[in-house]
Amino acid sequence: MKKMLFSRGLRVLICVCLLAAVTVSLLGCAGSGQTAAEIHRKHIDAVRTNTLQMQDDLDAVFMLDRPSRLSNRYVR
């Protein structure tokens, strides 16, 4: 008797979870809530930020981000 009750409760729980999943997928959480212009602006900002970071990385590799320790005068 208890085994049937547990089995039935498990079936009800699975059905409720499936129903909740279907309801959430059909009713909400699908839209981004942003206009096309906002998304485009966000993409442009991401590309600009990535470009600036790459430039900073190249400056660090070629040591252009620090002042030179060499003299600006000719040494003979």
Q: What is the pLDDT of residue 40?
A: 94
Q: Which amino acid is at 45?
A: D
Model pLDDT for residues 23-44, shown as the tens digit of each residue: 877 776 556 678 889 999 999 9
Instruction: Report the pLDDT value the prediction gives residue 6, as an integer from 0 to 100.
Output: 66
pTM of the model: 0.47
Q: What percent of the chain has pLDDT over 70?
A: 84
